[in-house]
Amino acid sequence: MNESSGRKVGIARFFELLGRDLWSFYRASFLCCAAFLPGFAAVLFGLMAHAPLLCALGGALGGTLAGPFLVGLADTVLRALRDEPGYWWHTYKRAWRQNWRQSLIPGALLGLFLGGWSAVLFHMVNDANPGTMMWVAAVAGMFVCVGFLVWLFAQIPLVDLPLPELIKNAALMFFGFLPRTLAAAAITAVYWVVMLLTLPASMIVIVVFGFWLPVIPALMIVYPGLDKVFRLEETLQARRDAEINERMAAREAENHDR
């Protein structure tokens, strides 16, 4: 996305998207939050019981359930970034039906990471002296996992590829667009770390902003990389041109019949 495409960039583009599609973002985010509740409850129970394994397993199961809804939110945001018209509920249901199977394992990976990392963070915060190296390892691991998962989930609504190919692409784009990876990971990670550390006060923030607030800027950052790899804008423009030509041909045929 750049100015040559005729679109705004940066913060101006962010608020343009909110002004046009906020209600769609909120609805998709609300469904995503609801789907994550069982996993959140399982991880919270594991934290209270001081059971890291339960946190990881509960997160994995919850992430499996919530994965399709996170992909539905990603599809909603990516359609907005491509300025695709369409009734939200219709496009959301179609994306959900097309992608739910493909999103189960990525969802499990996301939940496993969130559950395990929450247990590690909880332990470190409550430990009197966790050590500098442990903090460095935790932060580095967080950036690697979050950055990789952003690329993985962003692909699912865009391309129909086997999971090994999606994982390979995510790894290649992670390093191929490293500055974008780090920026998207930073926005996503900082948001959720703040939400986690300020529970339960942050629950009202999660209800209002949920997943859409970090997902929109993260996908805005990685979208140029996705477009470069998969030629999204080129494909979309070709589709629009084909539709216009088809309509013009139909109109000419109709006029000829008259």
- State how many domains the chain has: 1
Peptide bond into 200 cis (omega under 30): yes
Q: Which residues constitute the domain of residue 169?
A: 3-257
| CB neighbour class for 124 (10 Å; exposed up to 12, middle 13-18, buried from 19) | middle
pTM for the whole thing? 0.86
What is the residue-level pLDDT of the chain in tens, covering all 258 positions? 454 456 888 899 999 999 999 999 999 999 999 999 999 899 888 888 888 899 999 999 999 999 999 999 999 999 999 888 889 999 999 999 999 999 999 999 999 998 988 888 887 777 667 777 877 888 888 899 999 999 999 999 999 899 999 999 999 999 999 999 999 999 999 998 888 778 778 888 888 898 999 999 999 999 999 999 998 888 776 665 555 565 566 566 666 666
Q: Which residues contact 80 (CB under 8 A, 6 or more apart)?
A: 17, 20, 21, 24, 25
Output the furthest CA–CA distance in the chain (Å, rounded).
Answer: 85
- The one-letter amino acid code at 157 reads P
